[in-house]
Chain A
Amino acid sequence: MNVKKMTTLSLIISVAMILSYIESLIPAFVAVPGVKVGLSNIATVFALYTLGAPYAIGVSLVRVLLSSLLFGTVASLIYSLSGALFALVVMITLKHINLFSEIGVSIAGGVMHNVGQVVAAALVMSTGAIAYYIPPLIVWGIIAGIAIGIVSGLLINRLKGKIGRIK
């Protein structure tokens, strides 16, 4: 990792942090835990397409850790971390098989993030009852994923040339 790449990575992580902060200001608007826009996923998808999978993992995990420390609780760290890991695995895999665009990858990421959170919550609270939240969370993950995918796609296309020169 050269200095330029490291700087770009840091820049993307700071953007992710700002997005996390903005997200934390949005009040919960649906009575289902975990329903969020997932703005910071823009940074993860962007890093995945411009810098590559290892950088996307870095952006996502550092973001989760820092934003839980700053805006969340220990409980929220566990849920976010599980969601982030599920999302990363699926997004990296889908990008690799090259069948979907940024939107499809982002949809899968949004849905899996929510599924990961439910799985973590089911384990933490030792109850399968939380599975009731899966249908609304899947639908919400699709909606948020489309929005995040469109924004990420635009950013990737406009900035790819500049990031490319860094490599």
Chain B
Amino acid sequence: MEEKLFGDKKIVADIILAITLCAVALFVFLLFQLTGENGASVRVSVDGQSVAEYSLAIDGEYSLNGGTNILVIEDGEAYMKEADCPKQLCVKQGRVSKVGESIVCLENRVSVTVVGDGEILEVR
């Protein structure tokens, strides 16, 4: 039994829409990649307020936000070692090192952003 499912020419419009959106994603991705440079330090924000800044050149382990998250800096890269949230997304986000890259923990509203040498990252 043949069913006429999704109209007719509309499917072409759908495909064009999907391809256009893919192109937008690729463009934004390349923009971030090309403008990326190695950062000098990471800035920690809680609830949008900067609370601390740690140099990427110095290895260390830091407790953030009263212990909800544990940040590790190693070989010029930063990653979240532990978090008390159920989904552990920030832990899975892996290592960051390029300026502007960040690790975000939505549950605890903690964000760790890589910033450049002596540069103040644009904060909205």
Contacts and interface: CB of A to CB of B under 8 A. Distances in A.
Task: Tell whether A pairs with B.
Answer: yes
Interface of A: 27-28, 31-33, 73, 75-76, 79, 99-104, 107-108, 111, 121-122, 124-136, 138-139, 141-142, 146, 149, 153-154, 157
B123 A127 contact: yes
Contacts, number: 117
A137 to B, nearest CB: 8
Given A99-B13, A101-B11, A121 B104 contact: yes
A145 to B, nearest CB: 8
A102 B28 CA distance: 27
B89 interface: yes
B109 A129 contact: no
A139 B25 contact: yes
A125 B104 contact: yes
Given A32-B93, A104-B18, A132-B100, 5 more contacts: A28-B88, A107-B18, A125-B104, A133-B104, A138-B25
B77 to A, nearest CB: 15
Interface of B: 3-7, 10-11, 13-14, 17-18, 21-22, 24-26, 28-29, 32, 45, 47-48, 87-89, 92-94, 100-102, 104, 106-107, 109, 111, 113, 121-124
Contacts of B124: 122, 126-128
A31 B89 contact: yes
B14 A153 contact: no
Contacts of A79: 106
A126 B102 contact: no
A76 B85 CA distance: 13
Contacts of B93: 31-32
B25 A104 contact: no
Nearest to B32: A132
Nearest to A122: B124
A124 B25 contact: no
Contact of B14 (A73, A107, A157): A107
